[in-house]
Amino acid sequence: MNDPFKQASANRKVLTADEDAEGRLDSFLTAALEGEFSRNRIKSLIEQNAVTINGKVVSEPKRKVQPGDEIVIDMPEPEDPEPKGEDIPLDVLYEDDDLIVLVKPAGLVVHPGAGNWTGTLVNALIHHCGATLSGIGGVKRPGIVHRLDKETSGVMVAAKNDAAHRHLSDQFADHGRTGPLERAYKAVVWGRPRQLKGTIDAPLGRAGDRTKRAVKREDADDAREAITHYTVVERHVEKPDGTALASTIECHLETGRTHQIRVHMAHIGHPLIGDPEYGAAFRTKANLLPDPAKVVVSQFPRQALHAFMLQFEHPSTGEVMHFESPMPQDMEELVKALQKARL
């Protein structure tokens, strides 16, 4: 490959694809920059709209490069990479020298990222556990072995040393198939699934942007196995024909993909109440409810999802640790309003 650079500066790099250029954009840039950035970093820059080809923003790493293409990378201003401890209250269920188990409230981001460099669970953990935590599991994700969406509440575990981090990470990577790891959630969904107990086995992949997910064909490039087991716990606002306007369900994860429960329940036609991404089309269904349930449901500010149970093997003792947390007040009030509603 000939030297592709036309111009380079601290914050901008301009390259021209030579006559032999071919293949994916992320692969081309990784080779052209000769190890200056990893392929994952290149992919991240593309997905953050920091790359243009012939003056047009490109957000797909797999976009094909053509000979003569002018490619511009505008590097974002560097952020402070090391999160600082912040005195954010934690609801701690258990703690020892190896780990801490807590209940994350809705609205709390787990780890720092674009737009959320402070006020995260990581900032709270560094303050609570001390500076030694900062080197475990990476600078921006110290101690984190799994995550919950910002607006999902529930039980989480974080590691406090490298050995515990490796052991817990291995358990989550295994999805409990060969060990005691188990995760269970309570959710409030629209309608009532046809089967009161069932399994959703549908691969997930990206849906056009960096964070949203969708069910994919098994042979799709980014398809990843995703399996959710659900049980209808209670039907709300039942009709004479046996259907219901809403249901409380319990979900057990066999895999742990981004937005898995939210996407899977929407896939079978029963999105979570309050879900702004996967349940927006169902928002007007609140008008079918009688007051005051209609008001409570229409004003519910987040996806109605709570990780109520977490079980895992203690990394040092081998003991099976089991923790549960009741639904938070906002979901309790949502369920109570639906329980009282009558058609």
Is 174 an annotated catalytic residue?
no
Q: Going by C-beta distance under 8 Å and a sequence separation of 6 or more, which residues neighbour residue 191?
A: 243, 244, 245, 246, 247, 269, 270
Q: Going by C-beta distance under 8 Å and a sequence separation of 6 or more, which residues neighbour residue 5?
A: 13, 14, 15, 32
Q: Which of 125, 229, 231 is nearest to 182 (CA)?
A: 229
Show the tokens assigned to 244. 């219901």
84 close to 123: Cβ distance less than 8 angstroms: yes
Catalytic residue among 149, 170, 209, 219: 149
Distance of alpha carbon 269 from alpha carbon 77, whole angstroms:
42
Cβ neighbour number for residue 315 with a 10 Å cutoff: 23
Answer left, alpha or beta for residue 65, where phi above 0 means left and psi between -120 and 50 means alpha. beta
Residues marked as catalytic? 149
